[in-house]
Chains A and B, each alone.
Chain A
């Protein structure tokens, strides 16, 4: 190795990762030099290496990694604060909500270490239980290892622990697939082979022969069959099934719902679920601080109108103000369809690719109800500490399936599935003294509602509130104000195409090397120097930061190639 190269490697090592191993990507000095921050020779000002469109959590993660690799990063956010779908929201001035994501898992230790998130205040909240609400007050308390409640069969109680252990092991098996770019099946790179080898090893030797057989049996089937095999209690099955379908246009009987659940369990491998309760401890806050501290610039109220392309290469963006900003690479945290069809435009892509983009499946089915309360809601049969948990209205899998069914015909569920948290129980500062904020995910509320949302939005919100009233009789009298975000609102206000949580359905045909679609599945796109880093990319939605992290790895890997 020549001394020049050795120098570069040294510079790279000190500039790039503080802990190179944590990113398990070999550091190619010569390649990285291609993207490293450089001064413009004419003006002497720092030129932008990467523009990231959108300061959602994945955009911020990607920014954090790129800036630590020595790139000069500018992140453009159309809203006045960071976070996108996980940005906090406020109603009636004094009632603060954690945003679309009210319950989350901790992000991976690698992410926390690489981006020094703890140093910037990140702290996962304390572990919560899931409470399966029962109309008669016979609620189930479902924890990480045990479940309890009136009328629960002993057999279910015993099965629960082994069942959880088993599925967490499956989730662990899939880990290499989620933490790396999805392998290409054609012209496979070495890294892709490593990913697949790890996966294969995990399945065969990690699980062992018997578990492997069972894993391969369930991986593509539905959660309905699996849970019916294992349990008797409808409340328990309903509560677990919610986690397999919430956010997707799927019912418990939809094929592939075991996979969506395993995807969700990925988070649990990092630690127990907690309620996001705002403030400095919330992930987006720490990510913002972390990126800015490392030197990234985040510009708010900067609405990108289009991505500028010359001869098949992205070279900048144009803002709604007409301002043009240039950069060596453009990374989009926006969903794939908006990125390709609106920001870039069909003329820049091949016909079949464009057609596939327009056919990405994913219309949002979950609405968000934020309720400001001037007192503490009292749920029949629930003790005070349990209010800090995640409350579920999903009394059986059939109930969920019915709620989903009707959404297929563009109607709102008559009896929707509800996932409720009361973040002010964890952080009193979210509401005036003695007051509370309640956050409810409402499924199924289809994006394309027959008759349109404008007419029916308020009625539907009241219907949900009165439904909650059946469990918490004093609730309706406490309501000060509410905000109801339909998938249409999520699209308009949070710029997620068709209001889908995950920027596209997490179905098998849109996962792994097919996410978001063939031709853009490894974060790079048909447009040179344009990358994707959002939930639309592998491994998908959720507050994981994985798409952002994988995208950054990919960008750096391709760094010198162009």
Chain B
């Protein structure tokens, strides 16, 4: 549509900025539930939470990703710089691939997580949950590297759900059939250029689309033009919260305190403690926090962020965890959701270990209301090691056509 549309930089006139997709959300919004995300106004719920949730799980949901922090990292030492920044071995990352990464401070405590896109040789995009410019610049000392904030210069949409592949194909984005999970492709949607990555925060088949802010509405319209053939719903952050818990993804700053925002000693978390030990490679060479993590790895585990299914259906979001009914408190639930698709009460809990071991029995004490009367109950918790929801169609290449 209008190519002249750009990101609004006169943000000081408004409490919150508007993304290039904003007008389309306004047109669809019946709930009028808005929230702030990284200085932008985005929907918490567009129409109805259950519709949006089921769109992700059974058809196709479209979400605005523009507010996500995005950094372009270039320069001769870009790769070396990133390898020293993140805990994961990225030496095998190549152009056109994405990987999930986390990074720590010198004490091995998590600062944030994100996705690292290799767009070309020594050309990377790092997407993160929180603002990272300070830390990236601190980390840049001694490297020939250029760090640019491109949060406001790239419009981004998440198109997620089992039919997302078919929706995008119908919208005119060809050549997605061979795109594997974590692949990136530079494609076209009609006349506009769009970079597509097979990534997402939903645990389902899905894509993230990156384009010029000026092309944003044209991209949106191309997708929503096939709404007659496919069930497509604009989605807000509440549905995202449900599906990310089902997928077992963590959210720094919510499931655990990030190092830079922690004041009290011991309130921050290491990757191991956040259940992200699988992205730590102590043998890859030096990276920030390595020594501290080495030391931690050689000691018995002190705590773990743990996936649990809580019996029953009471909302568990703020429950404390005990080693038995009326026993000793051994943890607390950091985030929780009822999973409609699994018919289960899911939670991520921060559990304290004893002698390096998880407490063998776990009970949640749940305070809940019944007709405004507070009641309390005990529910048994069952630890899960795998993501709660991880369907086969998520990673099939080529994805099933609908």
Contacts and interface: CB of A to CB of B under 8 A. Distances in A.
A348 interface: yes
Interface stretch (A41-49, A66-74, A350-358, A454-462): A350-358
B285 A347 contact: yes
Interface in B93-151: 105-106, 135, 138-139, 141-143
A295 interface: no
Most buried by B among A348, A349, A353, A519: A349
B362 to A, nearest CB: 34
Interface in A314-356: 341, 345-355
B286 A312 contact: yes
A349 B106 CA distance: 9
A353 B105 CA distance: 10
Interface string B133-172: 0010011011100000000000000000000000000000
Contacts of A350: 105-106, 288-291
Contacts of B60: none
Contact of A352 (B106, B283, B286, B291): B106
A526 B141 CA distance: 17
Contacts of A353: 106
Contacts of A346: 84, 141-143
Contact of B286 (A341, A347, A355, A519): A347
Contact of B141 (A311, A348, A354): A354
Given A312-B291, A346-B141, A358-B141, A351 B286 contact: no
B83 interface: yes
A351 B291 contact: no
A351 B80 contact: no
B85 interface: yes
B106 A351 contact: yes
Contact of A341 (B85, B142, B283): B142
Interface residues of B, number: 19
A351 B132 CA distance: 13
Interface in A500-532: 519, 526
Interface in A415-443: none
Interface in A508-562: 519, 526
A345 B143 CA distance: 9
Nearest to B292: A350
B290 A351 contact: no
B105 A349 contact: no
A95 B289 CA distance: 54
- Report whether over half of chain A's contact residues are helix, strand or loop; otherwise say mixed: helix
Contacts of A347: 80, 83-84, 142-143, 285-286
Interface string B25-38: 00000000000000
B85 A351 contact: yes
Contacts of B289: 350
A351 B85 CA distance: 8
Interface string B80-91: 100111000000
B138 A351 contact: yes
Contacts of A357: 141
Contacts of A348: 286
A358 B291 CA distance: 21
A556 B141 CA distance: 33
Contacts of A351: 84-85, 105-106, 135, 138-139, 141, 288
A355 B142 CA distance: 8
Interface string B250-288: 000000000000000000000000000000000101101
A193 B23 CA distance: 67
A342 to B, nearest CB: 9
B146 to A, nearest CB: 15
Given A347-B83, A351-B85, A312 B290 contact: yes
Interface string A28-44: 00000000000000000
Interface in A350-399: 350-355, 357-358
B214 to A, nearest CB: 36
Interface in B279-314: 283, 285-286, 288-291
A113 B106 CA distance: 42
Contacts of B135: 351
A354 B142 contact: yes
A125 B352 CA distance: 67
A229 B106 CA distance: 46
Contacts of A352: 105-106, 138, 288
Interface string A101-137: 0000000000000000000000000000000000000
Nearest to A349: B286
Nearest to B143: A346
Nearest to B106: A350
Contacts of B286: 312, 347-349
A526 B283 CA distance: 16
A355 B138 contact: yes
Nearest to A352: B106
Contacts of B83: 347
Contacts of B290: 312, 350
Given A347-B84, A347-B286, A355 B291 contact: no
Contacts of B84: 346-347, 351
B91 to A, nearest CB: 13
A355 B138 CA distance: 6
A357 B142 CA distance: 10
Contacts of B80: 347
A523 B186 CA distance: 52
A353 B138 CA distance: 10
Contacts of A358: 141-142
A15 B286 CA distance: 37
Residue in B106, B138, B283, B289 with the greatest tally of chain A CB atoms within 10 Å: B106
A341 B144 CA distance: 13
A195 B139 CA distance: 36
Contacts of A345: 142
B108 to A, nearest CB: 9
A521 to B, nearest CB: 15
Contacts of A354: 139, 141-142
Per CB-CB distance, the 3 closest pairs between chain A and chain B, nearest first, are A346-B142, A350-B106, A351-B139
Interface of A: 311-312, 341, 345-355, 357-358, 519, 526
Given A350-B289, A352-B138, A357-B141, 5 more contacts: A347-B142, A351-B84, A351-B288, A352-B288, A519-B106
29 contacts: A311-B283, A311-B285, A312-B286, A312-B290, A341-B142, A345-B142, A346-B84, A346-B141, A346-B143, A347-B83, A347-B84, A347-B285, A347-B286, A349-B286, A350-B105, A350-B289, A350-B290, A350-B291, A351-B84, A351-B106, A351-B288, A352-B106, A352-B138, A353-B106, A354-B141, A355-B139, A355-B141, A358-B141, A519-B106
